[in-house]
C-alpha cells in the first residue's frame, strides 16, 4: 500500500472563530464548519461521548488543510500552547508566503507576536516563528530564489 497524501493537521483551540479569522488572514480558506458528535466519533478518537465543533481550513493551492477543533465535551486535558520551539511532539506548521514582513504585519492585527526575529538563511529564505491566537505557533518562510 502506498501513501496517497497527508490529509490535514489538527489543532485544538478554545476560540474557534478567532482561529478561523487568524488563518483566513494568513490566506487559508474556510472549507466548512461542522459539529461532530456521536458514538462513531468517540470510537475513532477513543474519547467516548464527544461533542466537537470543527472548521476545515484549506491552503490556496488546495493541497493542504488545517482542522481546527473546539472540544465542548470532554474538556481538554493538556495545554501545550506556550511550549518552547524545542518541545517534544507536534509543535508548529510552516507556511510559505510571498512576503514575511507584510504577512507578519497583517497577522499582528490578529494578536500575532514574533517569537524571535525575522532572519535570512543564505540567499534562499527569510524565516520566522510567530505565536498567534491562544499561543499557536506557526512558521513563515519566504523563498528568495537564491542558493538553497
Domains in the chain, ordered, with CATH? 9-73 (3.10.180.10), 93-143 (3.10.180.10)
Residue 100, pLDDT score:
96
The C-alpha atoms of residue 140 and residue 5 are separated, in whole angstroms, by 22
98 grid coordinates? 510571498
What's the predicted TM-score (pTM) here? 0.88
Beta-sheet pairing, 125-131 with 137-143: antiparallel
How does pLDDT run across 119-141, given as a tens digit for each residue?
A: 999 899 999 999 999 999 999 99
The C-alpha atoms of residue 57 and residue 112 are separated, in whole angstroms, by 18
Residue 148, pLDDT score:
53
The C-alpha atoms of residue 31 and residue 28 are separated, in whole angstroms, by 9
Amino acid at each position: 500500500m502506498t501513501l496517497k497524501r497527508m490529509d490535514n493537521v489538527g489543532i485544538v483551540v478554545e476560540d474557534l472563530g478567532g482561529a478561523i479569522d487568524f488563518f483566513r488572514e494568513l490566506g487559508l480558506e474556510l472549507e466548512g464548519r461542522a459539529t461532530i458528535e456521536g458514538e462513531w466519533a468517540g470510537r475513532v478518537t477513543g474519547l467516548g461521548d464527544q461533542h466537537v465543533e470543527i472548521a476545515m481550513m484549506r491552503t490556496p493551492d488546495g493541497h493542504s488543510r488545517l482542522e481546527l477543533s473546539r472540544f465542548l465535551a470532554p474538556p481538554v486535558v493538556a495545554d501545550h500552547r506556550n511550549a518552547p520551539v524545542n518541545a517534544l511532539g507536534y509543535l508548529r506548521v510552516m507556511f510559505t508566503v510571498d512576503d514575511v514582513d507584510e504577512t507578519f504585519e497583517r497577522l499582528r492585527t490578529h494578536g500575532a507576536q514574533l517569537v524571535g526575529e525575522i532572519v535570512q538563511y543564505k540567499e534562499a529564505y527569510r524565516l520566522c516563528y510567530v505565536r498567534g491566537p491562544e499561543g499557536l505557533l506557526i512558521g513563515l518562510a519566504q523563498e528568495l530564489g537564491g542558493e538553497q
